[in-house]
A and B are shown apart, each in its own frame.
Chain A
Amino acid sequence: MPTEDDAGTWPDRLYDLLKAHAITQVALVPDAGHARLIRRCLADPALSVVTLTTEEEGVAMLCGAWLGGAKGVLLMQSSGVGNCVNMLSLALLHRTPLPMLVTMRGDFGEFNPAQVPMGSAAQAVLEAMGTLVRRADRAEDVVPTADATIRLAFNTFRPTATLIGQRVIGAKTFGKD
């Protein structure tokens, strides 16, 4: 059931979800849409939070995490999907559970033209690389969809992604409202 404050609290409930799934490694390149979740993760000493120089590092890192029996999640914005493409081969080859939470840019009221090409291609690119993708375009769908894709990753040994629509996050306007 959607609750009154879904709009504002889904990042906190995503953090709770990561804890419920016993996630211990969080790899990320920051996105404004993930800022609150990242803050929550950084405040948790039980999590290894690793800021990456490029998102593909996170794909390789989580392959290593699973080798050692640790569960991880990769946080990024949609343009980061483009940086992951070849490295996803590893997760397919090894059958590594690899859940990704992707905040979408360039898909709903975008201001920045540079976000549109990769934002438009993100889902197709992930799917072309064998990743199971589900979208959440309403605040109340974010946590259930993330839960489903994290389960799919660890239960069925594959890369999965939840795309969190820009409609949920809101479009940055750089003060040009």
Chain B
Amino acid sequence: MALPEPSGRLDRRALCRAVLADRGDMLVIAGLGAPAWDITAVGDCAANLPLWGGMGGAAMIGLGLALAQPLRRVLVITGDGEMLMGLGSLATIAVTRPPNLAILVQDNEHYGETGMQATHTHHGVDLVAMARGAGFARTLLVTRPEQVPDLRAAIHGAGLLFALAKIGAGAPPPVLPPRDGAFLQARLRETILGPAAHHQS
């Protein structure tokens, strides 16, 4: 179970570790900055695509991948700031309704990477309500460690999911993934498609 920070809020690394435990062949996209460091801290692997840029695009990368690989579960883990930059994609994804896509927003109510400035969620903007309004039939708000097993089950289960976990403001030391995007793309393609990945045209 994911233990809380001293503040009582969920610890982002413990949350990530719990969610990604026994992940099977799940494909994971992580938004730029801390979410990318989190999935890397849990364990860098070919099925991870940590982003170094493209702020606002993480969920849509997840959509394209989910449509391309309907038999694989795809998880997008991203920050509240990153999700706020791509709010329209909630509508696009809800309308497209890919059954194999889960989105998990780690909401610390701040832009962590740039010095902990408050995001709109700090002022009450409710991303879960926005996802519901966009048409996500299944949403989850997680605020307590006891809810994490249900979150994990929903993420690993079937169906389109939007989940948001309120996490503490703690910023654990960055654990950096490889920085070469071409490498990150090629290794993920190879893990899905095999060596043929490098001969597709």
Contacts and interface: CB of A to CB of B under 8 A. Distances in A.
B64 A63 contact: yes
B169 interface: no
A67 B49 contact: yes
Given A65-B67, A70-B68, A94 B181 contact: yes
B86 A57 contact: yes
**B contact face: mostly helix, strand, loop, or mixed:** helix
Interface string A1-13: 0000000000000
Contact of B68 (A51, A67, A90): A67
B55 A86 contact: yes
B53 interface: yes
Contact of B92 (A51, A62, A67, A70): A51
Interface stretch (B125-133, B159-167, B185-193): B185-193
Interface residues of A, number: 34
A63 B182 CA distance: 11
Interface string B147-191: 000000000000000000000000000000000011011001100
A79 interface: no
A74 to B, nearest CB: 11
A102 to B, nearest CB: 19
Interface in A51-75: 51-54, 56-70, 72
B117 interface: no
A69 B69 contact: yes
Contacts of B53: 86, 89-90, 93
A6 B58 CA distance: 40
B201 A154 contact: yes
Nearest to A92: B181
Contact of B57 (A25, A51, A67, A87): A87
A66 B59 CA distance: 15
Contacts of B52: 93
A149 interface: no
A56 B54 CA distance: 9
Nearest to A63: B61
Nearest to B196: A69
Nearest to B101: A64
Nearest to A156: B201
26 contacts: A24-B68, A25-B68, A48-B67, A52-B92, A57-B57, A60-B64, A61-B61, A63-B57, A63-B61, A65-B64, A65-B68, A66-B185, A67-B65, A67-B189, A68-B72, A68-B189, A69-B192, A70-B67, A86-B55, A90-B51, A93-B54, A93-B182, A94-B182, A95-B181, A95-B182, A154-B201
Given A24-B68, A65-B68, A90-B53, 6 more contacts: A48-B96, A53-B88, A60-B60, A60-B86, A60-B89, A61-B63
